[in-house]
Structure 1
Amino acid sequence: MAEAHQAVAFQFTVTPEGIDLQLSHEALKQIYLSGLHSWKKKFIRFKNGIITGVYPASPSSWLIVVVGVMSTMYAKIDPSLGIIAKINRTLDTTGYMSSQTKNVVSGVLFSTGLWVALIATMRYSLKVLLSYHGWMFAEHGKMSRATKIWMGMVKIFSGRKPMLYSFQTSLPRLPVPAVNDTVNRYLESVRPLMKEEEFKRMTVLARDFAVSLGPRLQWYLKLKSWWATNYVSDWWEEYIYLRGRGPLMVNSNYYAMVSLDRCHVRVQQVACLPHRNGVFMGLRATWIRLLGSTIPLCSAQWERMFNTSRIPGEETDTIQHLKDSKHIVVYHRGRYFKVWLYHDGRLLKPREIEQQIQRILDDPSQPQPGEAKLAALTAGDRVPWARCRQAYFGRGKNKQSLDAVEKAAFFVTLDETEQGYRKEDPDTSMDSYAKSLLHGRCFDRWFDKSFTFIVFKNGKMGMNAEHSWADAPIIGHLWEYVMATDSFQLGYAEDGHCKGDTNSSIPYPTRLQWDIPEECQEVIETSLNSANLLANDVDFHSFPFDNFGKGLIKKCRTSPDAFVQLALQLAHYKDMGKFCLTYEASMTRLFREGRTETVRSCTTESCSFVLAMVDPAQTVEQRLRLFKIACEKHQHLYRLAMTGSGIDRHLFCLYVVSKYLGVDSPFLKEVLSEPWRLSTSQTPQQQVELFDLERNPEYVSSGGGFGPVADDGYGVSYILVGENLINFHISSKFSCPETDSHRFGKHLRQAMKDIVALFGLKSNFKK
């Protein structure tokens, strides 16, 4: 085979005259170029480390400070207030330097110390400035003089050309809320969900905790917040994600869709993916634009986007991350192929990758025994997978092939089904599309990889992402970039192929080899059966709501997110006839290593509004008043969550501390066991400058979704796209007789229309 010949660097034969050594110049050239590429990456990392290490200053500013200090010295002016003279006297004791050399060295040493002191001062000043969040609580559309001054100071201390990790050391630490504040906010959040007697009992438990055990646990948490970078994130990653022993598929992993109408031929669509991701690895900064200013967000989650895999363990999983990976693994018709992304020391061009993908599609070989359904191990329970991995994948060809998968930059599945939005059958097609991205056939996605690109036979695309290493906005950022650069920058030739030429010198993709014994195949089948039961139980409904979008919602002078959340409360009440504990995810990336916090969207104010909407005796004016109050309450809770004053992460960490101390808290035990029967999340659009949605509506994102958190509840994801579209993704379980995703979708559509009708505004009602 071609790849076997390419893999041999030299050949030799034994003859009567001696050993005849024949070197392969092409192979040696590739070895040289590969090493050159590695050293270039090391140099770039070293250079970037220096640049981000001295930020918000720059390496060139050191020279400016040195020149300035030396100039004043030659002008007989002492800018150091005697410090340079002391350094000079210290150097004088060595006896190895001339007087002029000592003056120069003294000046350079003082200049360097001054430069480092200025960097520390600027960095501390920026951290103090970024610790201020009063601007977030200001009335929308109005900016106080204090906020304007604060914005100006942030711009001054932020420097001019930040890189991705420039602000990491300048971001403030996540604060630990006071126990009393958290307890009071918790009681306020559950007041509308409990009967009077139940609420009184919970109040007694909460007050007792706040004065007895709470302060003791808080002391340990404060100690951790002073010592660790973030008092939540490491425990959150370990106990919420890595220690979970159930399947990742449906329960943890989530998906992202491409636009509804956009479609290319599969082989060309796949070809651009690795190239776009290779370019994306060089993305330099991530920001959030608020108040017309630029506020830095924590970039820590970006570090593990590529070259990352979750490794199963019997008690807890681990995250394996490599600094670099030069290949991807492609799954097609039950076979695994290793595809190199670099050749001649450079990233392959899209046309060259298209050539490699076509070679895989043309390969007539059949799967080896146990190979086709191997990935079902990643879809089932973690303990059988961990034991199986240790027993059968620790040596030989199985270890080599598994290493290729787990150490790949990312995973690609060439799905043999056709998916996507069909106008003649929108509901069934979208539901099937969503379920395929969420779980597929349970053995054709590697659920342990940081993300898997899925490309269907008709050219539609999607992504399945593992959750432990990062949250959805990080993958969303990548997905937006991939979609935007596909046609706007890379483009396709008139014949439909990727632009550029093929390259016959590139080695063929390498077919991964497996030797899977029957005992292991039995475990694979067991994992597949349990995964199929889970997948078949998912009731999914994905649909575009195009009656109106945030453009019309803004005319109601309210937050679009608050509007949708109140519509969800109204829809849930009509669907179930009761209120429930509601989870809405918000970010805490304004703080270093921040991840998420919970906004408890079901409030006393939202319940009052919903009850008014279902009460025919209430007037429009009364409903509007209650709607405004409920929206303001929701926005306030969202801001508290973003600024480190949320409820749930604090209570979670207090619970972890109590377990380490070996003490039981009836209050914390009840709080942590309460089910989230309505779990919601908004997928934010972060790079709107990449898309002109008016001119290119086919590039509108469909967002993504996730499985239900509670067996008797709903999972709802939504994305507000442009001004006139909102895409919803609703999940529940068929096994629960009380839930129905399509029924909930109908209530949600009607709730959206009912609320906007209060304002006398007409929606589009376009199809």
Structure 2
Amino acid sequence: MAEAHQAVGFQFTVRPDGLDLKLSKEVIKNIYLSGVTAWKKRAIQFKNGVLAGVYPASPSSWLIVVIAMMSSLYIPFDPSLGMIDALKENLPHRHCMSVQTRAVLSAILFATGLWLFLIYLLRYTLKALLSYHGWIFESHGRMSKSTQMWLSLVKMFSGRRPLLYSFQASLPRLPVPSVDDTIHRYLESVRSLLDSEQYNQMETLANDFKDSLAAQLQRYLILKSWWGTNYVSDWWEEYIYLRGRSPIMVNSNFYIMDLLYVNPTHRQAARAGNVVHAMLQYRRKLERGEHAPLRALGTVPMCSTQMERIFNTTRIPGIETDIVQHLTDRKHLVVYHKGRFFQVWLYTGGRHLLPSELETQFLRILNDTSEPLPGELKLAALTAGNRVPWARARNKYFSQGGNKASLDAIESAAFFLTLDDEAQGYDPTKTKSLDSYAKSLLHGKCYDRWFDKSFTLISYPNGKMGINAEHSWADAPIVGHMWEYVLATDCFHLGYTEEGHCKGDVNKGLPNPTRLQWQIPKECQDAIETSYLSAKQIADDVDFHGYLFTEFGKGLIKKCRCSPDAFIQLALQLAQFRDQRVFCLTYESSMTRMFRDGRTETVRSCTSEAVAFVRAMEEAGATNAQRLALFRKAADKHQNMYRLAMTGSGIDRHLFCLYIVSKYLGIDSPFLTKVLSEPWKLSTSQTPQQQLNLVDINKFPKYVGAGGGFGPVADDGYGVSYIIVGENLITFHISSKFSSPDTDSFRFGQHIGKAMLDIQALFKSENDKKMVEQAKQIQMENGRKHK
């Protein structure tokens, strides 16, 4: 067999006259090339680590400082103010050195100390500059002179050609808001959702908390903010994600779709080959820290910490809490196809497999007709069910022998790939194609995605792709960043032949993918089936609707001098009220990555101003001018809240951390308990697009992503993810539960579309009014001229 032949590096035979040793030149060559590549990789990582470690300075600047200090030995002026002489007199073993040697060594030591001092000075200066956030509160398109000067200083201290992690040491810490401000904003956020009696009760609870426990809890939180790099992120990961014992499928994991209109090839193995190769290129740049850091306004850096765990990461189940296991330098992936698991090596001869080679490997798996082993078909359902049964099964049945080796192969893989056997993707001729595509990515068959992996790449028979991502290790923009790079590389750099195959020669000498072996006893098979049935019940209850709004997009909204996000959020409030006839607590996710280790913050979008606007839209007696004025007021309020959340002055993460401190201290707070038990009946999030700007969507309007989505947060509520695609398209991903008699995802999508058009009509009538007034002025001027 070919794989057996390739696996043998050398053969030997014992003879009477000695040992006959036969070496395989091909394998020895591969071993040599692998070693060279490994050492080259270490050297590049070391170099880039040094560059990031001394940023914004450079290693060459050390040499300049050393030369300058050495030169000072030969001039009458001493720039060290006598420190070089002091070092010279206090060097260890100075009696063994000449006077000249001591002088040179002292100058080098002083120069190095001065250089390190200057690096820290530059870093702390940059950190102080980045702690200023006044620029974000200025009107769009209008920049004050002070902000322009601040931006110039940030650019000056930011250095040139930063690497991915260059700014990490210069990012400011997330500040802890004052308790008074947080409580004031909280009460303001719920004022329109509670009647007078409920609000008075909540206000009493808040004031009691402020007067009794708040100061003590706040002191501990401030201490944590001084000690740790971020006072929220570690607790958020642990208590919101890892300690949850319910299934992560649908409830936590999210998905990202492929290109909406374009399918580069109809060949499943070829598309998977190109995409996997592009991911390997991305991972290589990531490991070396060579990606450019994401920067707002092209200047203000975002934290890159979350990107470290994109690959080689798995959520490991536990009885009380899970852990996130991140490994390095893993050279294989695991592929699932029709109930079988295959291990595929990603390197040969010290290099990545080429797209054509990966296509060959995936074709071998697709053409494999072997049957699943007992219990293997639905094995991954363990990752879809409750966490405790999975943790117990893992400890009991997968902790030793062949099962442990196979599970280790999955959990240590770069990522997980599913070669699906049912075509999916957006088809304009089929009304529910986007709905089916979303459900397939979100939960599939409940046993054909490894939901614990950092992400599962899903490949469909028609060439479409998608991602299911685990949420604890990072947020959606991180996966979206990688996905943008992969899609652009796949379509515009790698490409396909006319027949739809990957470009390049086919290497038939590669060893076949290896089947993972399992010995799953009947008791474990019963546990798998129980997890599967539990997960299937959740999946069958998900009501999903993908809605493409094509009437207008970002272009028209900006002409209305309004934030696209505020416009959509107010449309969602109007749609929610029309759908449910009541207002509800609304969650919108914003990021805090301008701070070290920042993740997300909540924007409470259902404000009093939004409620007033919606009521005016539903009042027959209100004029369009009144409605538009209320809309602008609500949009300004929303924008201000979003900016406060981004700059560390949000509400919910602060209250969450105060609650965690109270639990550590064994203190019960009725106020904090009440706040954290409130249901988010409308949970929303905007999917970022064009983070990398690798594709000009004006030139290639069809090469746009469809965004992604998530499951419903409340049993009787909606989850809405949206992506503003270019100038003329907004894609909504709407989820709810069939079991709720009050919700319907398709109906909510129709309400969103009508709300968008109704708000646009307000601006249209304003523009019509302006045109009429302009026409009257022109007529009056013409009349005066005629007279």
* TM-score w.r.t. length of structure 1: 0.97
The answer to whether structure 1 residue 413 and structure 2 residue 415 are counterparts is no
**How far off its partner does 1:287 sit?**
4.2
Query: Over residues 308-364 of structure 1, what are the superposed CA-to-partner deviations in whole Å (9 max), with x where a residue is unaligned?
Result: 001011110001101211111111111111111110001111111111111111222
Asked if 1 retains the 8 angstrom alpha-carbon contact of 2:293 and 2:304, the reply is no
Asked if 2 retains the 8 angstrom alpha-carbon contact of 1:301 and 1:469, the reply is yes
Moved more, 116-125 or 507-516: 507-516
How many equivalent pairs are there?
A: 761
Separation in 2, partners of 1:113, 1:478 = 39
Separation in 2, partners of 1:456, 1:494 = 20
The answer to whether structure 1 residue 389 and structure 2 residue 394 are counterparts is yes
Separation in 1, partners of 2:207, 2:517 = 62
Separation in 2, partners of 1:99, 1:506 = 65
Query: Which residue identity is paired with 1:159?
Result: G
1:213 counterpart residue number:
213
1:168 counterpart residue number:
168
**How far off its partner does 1:13 sit?**
4.1
The answer to whether structure 1 residue 306 and structure 2 residue 311 are counterparts is yes
Separation in 2, partners of 1:379, 1:415 = 17
Asked if 1 retains the 8 angstrom alpha-carbon contact of 2:485 and 2:692, the reply is no
**How far off its partner does 1:161 sit?**
1.1
Separation in 2, partners of 1:708, 1:208 = 34
Asked if 2 retains the 8 angstrom alpha-carbon contact of 1:127 and 1:170, the reply is yes
**How far off its partner does 1:14 sit?**
4.6
The answer to whether structure 1 residue 370 and structure 2 residue 370 are counterparts is no
2:558 counterpart residue number:
554
Query: Which residue identity is paired with 2:377?
Result: A
1:423 counterpart residue number:
428
1:129 counterpart residue number:
129
Separation in 2, partners of 1:716, 1:187 = 25
Moved more, 391-400 or 533-542: 391-400
**How far off its partner does 1:692 sit?**
1.9
Which SS does the other structure have where 1:729 is aligned? strand
2:82 counterpart residue number:
82
Separation in 2, partners of 1:505, 1:606 = 65
Runs of 4+ in 1 over 6 A off after TM superposition: none
The answer to whether structure 1 residue 738 and structure 2 residue 729 are counterparts is no
**How far off its partner does 1:687 sit?**
3.0
Q: 1:435 aligns with which of 435, 439, 459?
A: 439
**How far off its partner does 1:254 sit?**
0.2
**How far off its partner does 1:23 sit?**
3.4
Separation in 2, partners of 1:697, 1:140 = 26
Query: Which residue identity is paired with 1:58?
Result: S
Asked if 2 retains the 8 angstrom alpha-carbon contact of 1:378 and 1:448, the reply is yes
Asked if 2 retains the 8 angstrom alpha-carbon contact of 1:286 and 1:299, the reply is no
1:706 counterpart residue number:
710
Asked if 2 retains the 8 angstrom alpha-carbon contact of 1:384 and 1:523, the reply is yes
Q: 1:601 aligns with which of 596, 605, 609?
A: 605
Query: Which residue identity is paired with 2:208?
Result: D
The answer to whether structure 1 residue 107 and structure 2 residue 112 are counterparts is no
Q: 1:273 aligns with which of 267, 272, 275?
A: 275
The answer to whether structure 1 residue 695 and structure 2 residue 699 are counterparts is yes
Asked if 1 retains the 8 angstrom alpha-carbon contact of 2:256 and 2:466, the reply is yes
Separation in 1, partners of 2:504, 2:189 = 59
**How far off its partner does 1:20 sit?**
4.3
1:222 counterpart residue number:
222
Separation in 1, partners of 2:602, 2:96 = 64
2:661 counterpart residue number:
657
Query: Which residue identity is paired with 2:280?
Result: G
Separation in 1, partners of 2:439, 2:17 = 68
Asked if 1 retains the 8 angstrom alpha-carbon contact of 2:601 and 2:645, the reply is yes
**How far off its partner does 1:743 sit?**
0.6
**How far off its partner does 1:366 sit?**
1.5
**How far off its partner does 1:742 sit?**
0.5
Moved more, 320-329 or 729-738: 320-329
Which SS does the other structure have where 2:96 is aligned? coil
**How far off its partner does 1:527 sit?**
0.5
Asked if 2 retains the 8 angstrom alpha-carbon contact of 1:55 and 1:119, the reply is yes
**How far off its partner does 1:34 sit?**
2.7
The answer to whether structure 1 residue 544 and structure 2 residue 548 are counterparts is yes
**How far off its partner does 1:207 sit?**
0.6
Separation in 2, partners of 1:524, 1:22 = 48
**How far off its partner does 1:546 sit?**
0.6
Which SS does the other structure have where 1:689 is aligned? coil
**How far off its partner does 1:41 sit?**
2.3
Separation in 2, partners of 1:318, 1:330 = 23
1:154 counterpart residue number:
154
Moved more, 438-447 or 506-515: 506-515
Which SS does the other structure have where 1:375 is aligned? helix
Separation in 1, partners of 2:364, 2:501 = 15
**How far off its partner does 1:279 sit?**
1.1
Pick closer, same or farther for the CA change 1:260–1:293 going to 2, 3 Å: closer
Query: Which residue identity is paired with 1:359?
Result: R
Q: 1:625 aligns with which of 629, 634, 637?
A: 629
Query: Which residue identity is paired with 1:704?
Result: G
Which SS does the other structure have where 1:192 is aligned? coil
2:778 counterpart residue number:
none
Query: Which residue identity is paired with 2:406?
Result: S
Separation in 2, partners of 1:228, 1:289 = 24
Separation in 2, partners of 1:474, 1:286 = 13
**How far off its partner does 1:720 sit?**
0.3
1:521 counterpart residue number:
525
Query: Which residue identity is paired with 2:599?
Result: R
The answer to whether structure 1 residue 404 and structure 2 residue 406 are counterparts is no
> Which segments of 5 or more consecutive residues in structure 1 lack a partner in the other structure?
none
Query: Which residue identity is paired with 2:272?
Result: V
Asked if 2 retains the 8 angstrom alpha-carbon contact of 1:274 and 1:341, the reply is no
**How far off its partner does 1:28 sit?**
3.3
Separation in 1, partners of 2:508, 2:344 = 15
Which SS does the other structure have where 2:382 is aligned? helix
**How far off its partner does 1:519 sit?**
1.1
Asked if 2 retains the 8 angstrom alpha-carbon contact of 1:54 and 1:119, the reply is yes
**How far off its partner does 1:504 sit?**
2.5
Separation in 1, partners of 2:164, 2:6 = 38
The answer to whether structure 1 residue 494 and structure 2 residue 498 are counterparts is yes
**How far off its partner does 1:396 sit?**
1.3
Asked if 1 retains the 8 angstrom alpha-carbon contact of 2:31 and 2:349, the reply is no
Separation in 2, partners of 1:762, 1:363 = 65
Moved more, 588-597 or 279-288: 279-288
2:480 counterpart residue number:
476
Which SS does the other structure have where 1:753 is aligned? helix
2:322 counterpart residue number:
317
**How far off its partner does 1:762 sit?**
12
Asked if 2 retains the 8 angstrom alpha-carbon contact of 1:308 and 1:321, the reply is yes
2:47 counterpart residue number:
47
Separation in 2, partners of 1:73, 1:131 = 41
1:669-684 map, 5 Å: 669-684=673-688
1:461 counterpart residue number:
465
Moved more, 21-30 or 314-323: 21-30
Separation in 1, partners of 2:459, 2:119 = 48
Which SS does the other structure have where 1:759 is aligned? helix
Asked if 2 retains the 8 angstrom alpha-carbon contact of 1:92 and 1:102, the reply is no
Query: Over residues 683-720 of structure 1, what are the superposed CA-to-partner deviations in whole Å (9 max), with x where a residue is unaligned?
Result: 01143621222332221110000000011100000000
Which SS does the other structure have where 1:495 is aligned? coil
Asked if 2 retains the 8 angstrom alpha-carbon contact of 1:286 and 1:297, the reply is no
Query: Which residue identity is paired with 1:408?
Result: A
Query: Over residues 246-280 of structure 1, what are the superposed CA-to-partner deviations in whole Å (9 max), with x where a residue is unaligned?
Result: 11100000000012222222111100122111111
Query: Over residues 64-95 of structure 1, what are the superposed CA-to-partner deviations in whole Å (9 max), with x where a residue is unaligned?
Result: 11112222322333111111111112238621
Asked if 2 retains the 8 angstrom alpha-carbon contact of 1:334 and 1:367, the reply is yes
**How far off its partner does 1:182 sit?**
0.5
Separation in 1, partners of 2:415, 2:730 = 30
1:98 counterpart residue number:
98
2:671 counterpart residue number:
667
Which SS does the other structure have where 2:702 is aligned? helix
